[in-house]
Amino acid sequence: MQRILITGISGVGKSTVTQELAQHGYTAVDADTEEFSEWVEVSDTLAAAPGSPVEADRDWVWREDRIEELLSRGGIELLFVSGCAANMGKFLSQFNHIILLTTPADLTVERLRSRTNNPYGKHPDEVARILSLKESVEPVLRRIAGHEIETSAPLANVVSQILQFVQA
């Protein structure tokens, strides 16, 4: 089984790409949902992570037991998991490929303003935090990713680039 992590900061299109992959028949899971993520009190470990926490006393992190179960499922030839969380480093070695999605800051802001699938990024403080993460966390993600895709291209092109990379 191949496991592919699609990551990036808020507003780059992870959820949209994941939905599109699923519509094309691939097993694609958005880990930034309540099924796979949860609010937790901030620990020293999370507080030390770049860009964390989301709020002063809590952060949105992956539910480790559920991510572990997802990554250990049998019978799946190709699994796409999208998301970005302070504790995702625990799982990086279980992915065959890590793909970073990026987009220019102005497009990120526009996507946050207009998106309907997630309320995060609507408040000016959240937008400021996301833009800060673009400067602090995106370079870290770039170092761990094996491939980077700029998502200002049409969705079909982005998905095609992902599939070409994974199948190469």
- Convert 24-81 into a string of H (helix), E (strand) and C (coil): CCCEEEECCCCCCEEEEECCHHHHHCCCCCCCCCEEEEECHHHHHHHHHCCCCCEEEE
Per-residue pLDDT of the chain (168 residues; tens, 9 = 90+): 899 999 999 899 999 999 999 999 999 999 999 999 998 887 655 444 555 555 666 788 999 999 999 999 988 999 999 999 989 999 999 999 999 999 999 998 898 888 877 777 777 888 888 898 899 899 999 999 999 999 999 999 999 999 999 998
Whose tokens are 């937790």? That residue is 40
Global pTM?
0.89
Q: Tell me the HSE value of 42 on the side-chain side, using a 13 A CA sphere.
A: 14
Q: Tell me the HSE value of 158 on the side-chain side, using a 13 A CA sphere.
A: 24
Nearest to 63 by CA among 31, 96, 18: 31
